[in-house]
Amino acid sequence: MVASLVTETNRYAEQTLEDKELSPKSHFRQWTPVTLNEIWAFLGLIIAMGLILIENLEEYWSLHAMYKLPFFSSVLKKDRFCLILSFLHIANNKDQLKRDDPAYDLIYKIRNFSPPGAKRQNPQRECVVCSDKDNGKRKYIYSRYECPSCDVGLHVDPCFEIYHTMKDFKRAYKRRHQEVDE
């Protein structure tokens, strides 16, 4: 999967740079093909950013003594990280069908990232779809949708063999209100 990230990111960068007329000072001119090690480093930094929350992306590479996080600059330079982020891609856009094509695939861009042989998972049949605040108490509105073709509520399929949209679901029960104290 990570190797395909490398391939598709490099392909997307090449396609984008061919199509664009870049200014002489554009930071896109610094692009060099990404390597497998750089993608692993990039993914590691994304995970670290989820653990160390900072408001601004650039502050992860700040040199200010109060904000300095030497880990980030030791893994990837800020400019390289931003370039990879700009061109990160997981599927070839040239192979994607147009939206008006009957064989158009809504999940084309992420289809290759589903694990092979993944098992079908079914969430709880009743899921919170929205919530309102009413007189200091929170109301959760529960709805149940059933798929007429496979008879499960809110179908989840990690291998994406069958893709359902809200058009495929029929409302099985009308809204039920259940008050829950905050």
The 10s digit of each residue's pLDDT in 119-176 is 545 444 444 444 444 455 555 444 444 445 554 444 444 433 344 444 444 333 333 3
Cβ neighbors of 10 (< 8 A, separation 6 or more) are: 33, 34, 87
The residue ranges of every structural domain in the chain are: 2-99, 127-180
Give the sign of the dihedral formed by CA 25, CA 94, CA 33, CA 36. positive
AA letter at 106: L
Of all residues in the chain, what percent carry a pLDDT higher than 70?
A: 60
pLDDT value at 38 more than 80: yes
pTM: 0.60
